[in-house]
A = this chain, B = another copy of it.
Amino acid sequence: MRNIKMIIQYDGTKYNGWQRLGDTDKTIQGKLEQVLTRMSGTNTEVIGSGRTDAGVHAIHQVANFFTEDARTEEEIQAYLNQYLPDDIAVKQVTEVHARFHSRLNAVSKTYMYRIWNLPYSEPFIRKYSLHIPEPYLKVRAMRKAAGYLIGKNDFTSFVSRASKKKSNIRTITDIGFEKKEGLVEIRIIGDGFLYNMIRIIVGTLLEVGLGKMEPEKAAEILESHDRQMAGPTAPPHGLFLLDVKYPEDDETIAEASQ
């Protein structure tokens, strides 16, 4: 069996998230499996690096699948892009070694959350950002609050109760802020994220940015292991999966193995 890795981009607006459920038509995974099954003539399962929630977008999602199909990488990519709807794009297709697993091998993920922070709406990114008309967010205070979350921590306070993971310990390596004109971008990098974790972190940072919460409260929330202490879950349409990294992406390793 060949193992094929894909880099995928999607506008999540119309979808019930990544993970296939009953109705394959409304999930990204379902759409991909439909086209690949049709291409190869046999049921094909797609393994994603992780789920994205309903309405969440991806600039760079990674997934792989196993196939006996003889098409070249370019032909597989062309087939996918021909039959996928135009809000899902396959940017790259590469044949990888048999042991590559999109989810298990991922070493870090980067998410971006976008906030449009001016009184008027921004027509071109209104579907791809959270609009906070006023007040101006206190970005410096948000940055300070974010500092308390960086590191290896038990993020129980920032997980939706629906989460069934055994451990809530994760490592956040960076939370960065960029402000350009009316746009505030938050980038969160970590080794993995729990259910709704990014959106609850953003919702909490927004409480700080809106002046409803002191930055120091973030440390207290983290220690409490109590979801009730944190802010609300920020809406999905401002969230993008921006990058997924694997050990083989590291050039040093790639060179060493040659």
A169 interface hit (Cβ, 8 Å): no
In the complex, A90 Cα to B81 Cα: how many Å?
Answer: 37
B126 touches A90 (CB 8 A): no
Look across to chain B and name the residue whose beta carbon is closest to the beta carbon of A91: B120
B11 touches A124 (CB 8 A): yes
Look across to chain B and name the residue whose beta carbon is closest to the beta carbon of A240: B124
Residues on B with C-beta less than 8 A from A86 are 121, 123, 126, 131
A81 touches B124 (CB 8 A): no
| Contact mask for chain A residues 96-127; partner B; CB cutoff 8 A; 1 contact, 0 none | 00000000000000000000000111111010
A89 interface hit (Cβ, 8 Å): yes
Look across to chain B and name the residue whose beta carbon is closest to the beta carbon of A92: B120
Residues on B with C-beta less than 8 A from A21 are none
Number of A residues with CB within 8 Å of any CB on chain B = 22
A87 touches B123 (CB 8 A): yes
Q: How many copies does the complex hold?
A: 2
A126 touches B81 (CB 8 A): no
Look across to chain B and name the residue whose beta carbon is closest to the beta carbon of A81: B120
| Least Cβ–Cβ distance between A209 and chain B, in angstroms | 21
Residues on B with C-beta less than 8 A from A120 are 9, 77, 81, 89-91
Residues on B with C-beta less than 8 A from A87 are 121, 123, 126
A88 interface hit (Cβ, 8 Å): yes
Look across to chain B and name the residue whose beta carbon is closest to the beta carbon of A89: B120
| Least Cβ–Cβ distance between A81 and chain B, in angstroms | 4
Look across to chain B and name the residue whose beta carbon is closest to the beta carbon of A58: B123
A78 interface hit (Cβ, 8 Å): yes
| Contact mask for chain A residues 1-17; partner B; CB cutoff 8 A; 1 contact, 0 none | 00000000111000000
| Contact mask for chain A residues 73-94; partner B; CB cutoff 8 A; 1 contact, 0 none | 0000110010000111111000
A122 touches B77 (CB 8 A): no
Query: For A10, A78, A119, A122, which residue has the most chain B Cβ atoms within 10 angstroms?
Result: A119
In the complex, A128 Cα to B81 Cα: how many Å?
Answer: 19
A31 interface hit (Cβ, 8 Å): no
A57 interface hit (Cβ, 8 Å): yes
A-B contact pairs, 25 of them (CB 8 A): A9-B122, A9-B123, A9-B124, A10-B123, A11-B123, A11-B124, A11-B126, A57-B123, A57-B124, A77-B120, A78-B119, A81-B119, A81-B120, A86-B121, A86-B123, A86-B126, A86-B131, A87-B121, A87-B123, A88-B123, A89-B120, A89-B121, A89-B123, A91-B120, A124-B128
